[in-house]
Structure 1
Amino acid sequence: MRFSVVELVVSVKRAYWASQGLKSRRIELSNGSTMHCLVKTSASSPPKPAVLLVHGFGADGLSGWDKQIGALGKHFDLYIPDLLFFGESTTRSSERSEIFQAECVKNMLDCLQVKSVMVVGHSYGGFVGFWMAHRFPELVRCLVIVSSGVCMTPSSNDDLLKEIGASDIRDVLLPRNVQDFKKCINHTVYKMPWLPNFIYKDFMESKGGRRNERLELFDGIVIGSKNAHPLPTLVQEVLIIWGKNDKIFKLQEAHAIQRHIGEKAKLVVIEECGHVPSIEKPAELNEQLLKFLLDIEKSQTEMIQQTPKNSKQIYRRSTGLGEDDNSFETSN
């Protein structure tokens, strides 16, 4: 049996977070999908508000958000799914779009009896989060888009391909060998970490499975595809967080999202950071997430308290809050 440093580290992290109350849940959906989700809830009364963390294309739930669990878990109930064909989630369906991913995550939350949630999505997970916010406004209270080019066009990757010397963006996202994987990492993060080649090889072998299915996922992306319908706007408050040195989605993509969403969108740029703020600048990212999410929680709660009683139900439906006057319905 092959010894894996990467798998050992993942096992240690899983054991640690399990000791801190993070539970593994597997949910069978009626559409033939199985969703795996890490759940951290408390028995506090009223319940803590719920936050959904949606990982990007190069990760699963735990590896994508490991450095956010501690900080966010103090204030929120956390739901951290593996998207389909990442981690332990899979499907028998032939659907491969990020819209289908959004529907599966929504159905998973229904099964977990989550009535309202604040969504944070990184990169590909931002695509999923965007569609969740658009299609299920009664569920999604607000959205945080982290380094996710939801306003991208079919030509958005052209400059990156020229810089890397590649002809197909799929070869960048799903490298076939250690040399290409290191090239991908070098263009993903601001400062390339030095690691021996066997670690990069180990990571590829541990995390690089299901290549064919992931290629299908990439080909199925609706955002930025040719002949795609115009991108809808959102009704929720949106925070956009971007690494200033992101080479995957350049900073101009963040400004395009802000213009598209309008006055409900706020942009925060993290200095000396590439495409993965959750790993490169976790303290800065956590600070911005907490500030925004706690502000949303406070402002929406105060709005309810100031709203005439006969209008509260309408307001709660419009913001995705529960029906109880004193607590949010986010029970597990």
Structure 2
Amino acid sequence: MLTASETLGRVVISATNAWRRAVLRRHGLRRRTIHLPDSETDIVCWMPKDVERTCNQKPSLLLLHGFGSNGTESWASHVSSLSRHFALFIPDLLFFGSSTTSRLERSELFQAHCIHMAILSLGVNQSFVMGHSYGGFVAYRLAHLYPQFVTKLIIVASGIMMDCHNNDYALRKTGANSVYDILAPTSVPALKQTLELVLNGTPKIPDFVLKAMLKRSSCGAD
């Protein structure tokens, strides 16, 4: 049986995600699962309710989220401004959110290939692409593999100037044994350290909410 704090944490996370989904719907987007031809891969993506009509009125913009997040979490707060000028496509990358595959590939090349197939299946042959953090690597591979598809490329905070010393600093600051422990924390103290690195400050989030965040991440829920 869940404790009161665990229940409250789940309620907070659930309410926050419901609010984000409502924001996307309010700006004319709908959530759809795209089944790829390999029959093993499903890409979940937010897109305009009428893709053809919206893409005839505005240029397409594909938004790719970073590591440990999903499309809804990463981009909900930006939809209001971006949707005025672009037809938005906001997928969950594979292994994050609700997109799934039974194939064994795990590279950003595979991510780019699957996202490209998914968006093409909607009748969208060209798009601006913006990737944040890990999504920037996928965006780069999209431009590399499919230059005719990517009309403009924006890479945000993807650490393109990183070297081994950046990882050394992060390990010293957090006391973690490996970068994996920072990217995929499994305890509340570790998650706090990760958020402190990401947010450049001590996160003011109650422990019961952080516990719910860890539980949600381990289940792959959106």
TM bin, normalised by shorter chain, reads 0.7 to 0.9
Q: 2:44 aligns with which of 36, 58, 62?
A: 36
Deviation at 1:195, TM superposition (A): 1.9
Query: Runs in 1 of length 4+ with deviation above 3 angstroms?
Result: 41-46, 150-156
Contact 2:20 2:73 in 1 (8 A): no
Q: 1:173 aligns with which of 176, 183, 206?
A: 183
- For residues 55 and 44 of structure 1, do their structure 2 counterparts lie closer, same or farther at Cα, with a shift above 3 Å needed? closer
Deviation at 1:74, TM superposition (A): 0.4
Paired with 1:82 and 1:44, the residues of 2 have a C-alpha distance of 21
Deviation at 1:155, TM superposition (A): 5.6
TM-score where L is the length of structure 2 = 0.88
Deviation at 1:185, TM superposition (A): 0.4
Aligned to 1:19: 26
Contact 2:44 2:99 in 1 (8 A): yes
> SS of the residue aligned with 2:58?
coil
Q: 1:121 aligns with which of 120, 131, 152?
A: 131
Contact 1:53 1:121 in 2 (8 A): yes
**1:81 lines up with 2:91 in the alignment:** yes
Contact 1:161 1:167 in 2 (8 A): yes
**1:199 lines up with 2:206 in the alignment:** no
Contact 2:131 2:138 in 1 (8 A): yes
Contact 1:60 1:82 in 2 (8 A): yes
TM-score where L is the length of structure 1 = 0.60
Q: Share of identical aligned residues, percent?
A: 37
Contact 2:54 2:87 in 1 (8 A): no
Amino acid at match of 2:146: F
Amino acid at match of 2:81: A
Amino acid at match of 1:7: S
1:242-253 aligned within 5 A: none
Amino acid at match of 2:29: L
**1:160 lines up with 2:167 in the alignment:** no
RMSD of equivalent CA atoms: 1.9
Aligned residues: 210
Amino acid at match of 2:176: A
Gaps of 5+ in 1: 211-332
- For residues 285-311 of structure 1, the C-alpha deviation after alignment (integer angstroms, 9 at most, x for no partner) is xxxxxxxxxxxxxxxxxxxxxxxxxxx
Aligned to 1:51: 61
Contact 1:120 1:144 in 2 (8 A): yes
Please state which structure has a larger fraction of its residues in helix: 2
